[in-house]
């Protein structure tokens, strides 16, 4: 399989990204999950007159999702891995940690994931708990989450691009 050189996830709607993520993270799914496999799953739901849409209660299951998926398959082929099209965002706790570094007036350059990891290793999580920005247990997973993001996106990825706003 060829890794897509562009950030294709940024071109996917939030609804399709959520659907792709649910299929990729479904323990019953046969790995690797491709765009074609997700299309089959979605197409199987649509002919059932949208009654089965309750199984995807947080997705807007419609033909427009199918059209969007068809366009991706046309451009990237059906064998493209669905995981490449899932938008990656930081957790709420990591978002608050990133924002604390972004708001540091002494910083000259925008922080990367490597910068965030270094700050966490230097005690950023504990400081944010002490300041009341994070709950006691929220800083426990920040480093492992940052490591996973670095593995997936690279250490030089701008942390600001991963902020979660809900």
**What is the pLDDT, as a whole number, of residue 166?**
61
Alpha-carbon distance 107 to 76, whole Å? 39
Distance CA 157, CA 146 (A): 11
First to last CA, the chain: 34
pLDDT band with cut points at 50, 70 and 90 for residue 83? confident
CA atoms of 14 and 162, how far apart (whole Å) = 14
Q: In the prediction, which pLDDT does 122 show?
A: 96
List the chain domain ranges: 8-85, 92-162
pLDDT digits (tens, 9 = 90+) for 100-154: 999 988 888 999 999 999 999 999 999 999 999 999 888 888 999 999 888 878 8
Are the beta carbons of 73 and 39 closer than 8 angstroms?
yes
Longest CA pairwise span in the chain (Å): 58
Cα distances from 120 to residues 6, 103, 163, 165, 166, in angstroms, run 29, 16, 16, 21, 24
Burial code of 72-99, b = ≥16 C-beta within 10 A, e = fewer?
bbeebebebbbbbbbbbbbeebbbbbbb
pLDDT tens-digit map of 25-76: 888 876 789 999 999 888 887 655 444 444 444 454 566 888 899 999 999 9
Report yes or no on whether pTM surpasses 0.75.
no
Rounded to 10 degrees, the C-alpha dihedral 17/21/23/24 comes to: 130
């Amino acid at each position: 399989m060829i890794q897509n050189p562009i950030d294709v996830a940024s071109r996917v709607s939030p609804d399709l990204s959520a659907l792709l993520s649910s299929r990729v993270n479904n323990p019953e799914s046969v790995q690797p999950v491709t765009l074609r496999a997700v299309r089959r799953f979605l197409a199987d739901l649509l002919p059932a007159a949208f009654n089965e849409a309750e199984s995807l209660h947080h997705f807007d299951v419609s033909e427009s999702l199918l059209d969007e998926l068809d366009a991706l398959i046309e451009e990237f082929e059906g064998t493209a891995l669905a995981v490449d099209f899932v938008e990656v965002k930081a957790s709420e706790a990591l978002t608050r940690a990133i924002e604390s570094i972004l708001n540091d007036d002494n910083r000259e350059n925008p922080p990367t994931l490597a910068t965030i990891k270094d700050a966490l290793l230097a005690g950023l999580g504990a400081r944010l708990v002490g300041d009341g920005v994070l709950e006691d247990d929220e800083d426990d997973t920040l480093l492992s989450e940052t490591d996973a993001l670095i593995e997936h996106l690279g250490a030089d990825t701008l942390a600001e691009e991963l902020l979660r706003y809900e």
